[in-house]
A = this chain, B = another copy of it.
Amino acid sequence: VAEPRWLDEREARIWHAWLAMNRDLQVAMDKQLAEFGLSAAEYAVLVPLSERPDRTLRAGELSRVLGWGRSRLSHQLRRMEGRGLVHRCDLETDGRATMVRITDKACELLAAAAPGHVEAVRRYLIDVVTPAEARAILGLAERVQLAVRSGVPGCAEGG
């Protein structure tokens, strides 16, 4: 294997700025939700449910929307059912499926937390980016995700 191309000072600065920015942003968003007694995972689960007319989704659908594995969602729903945030019941049409419904209590909690959440998104990101940076984010996101999905770094075939 050839000598790896280590990061130069500017490249390292970009990488570390990136990591620090995301770490801080995530911590801040978590804290904001915590003021309403909600975790980021709970909020993520509740939002798609609340947007349904019947406040209900199949577990598999929810898993797909969130981009979570079934196992992860199942564990999360168990804890949330214990906290009275969601309710699970069987689907008559298909004995394998599980229906998930957001409770009234969780709906109220979500309605209370959502304005502050959006406010935080604005304060920490949207109000802070210049139009040029916003364009950079949108363009970069596409290319990063393309690189991530196409490239397995363990087997560097071309480089």
Q: Which residues of A contact B (CB under 8 A)?
A: 1, 4-7, 10-11, 13-15, 17-18, 20-25, 27-28, 32, 35, 67, 114-116, 118-130, 132-134, 136-145, 147-149, 151, 153-154, 156, 159
Question: Could you tell me if B126 and A14 are in contact, using CB atoms closer than 8 angstroms?
Answer: yes
By DSSP majority rule, is chain A's interface helix, strand, loop, or mixed?
helix
Chain B residues closer than 8 Å to A134, beta-carbon distance = 10, 14
Q: How many copies does the complex hold?
A: 2
Question: Could you tell me if B123 and A17 are in contact, using CB atoms closer than 8 angstroms?
Answer: no
Chain B residues closer than 8 Å to A116, beta-carbon distance = 153-154
Q: A120 vs B122: C-alpha distance in the bound complex, in angstroms?
A: 31
User: A147-B128, A153-B119 given as contacts; is B17 within 8 A of A137 (CB)?
Assistant: yes
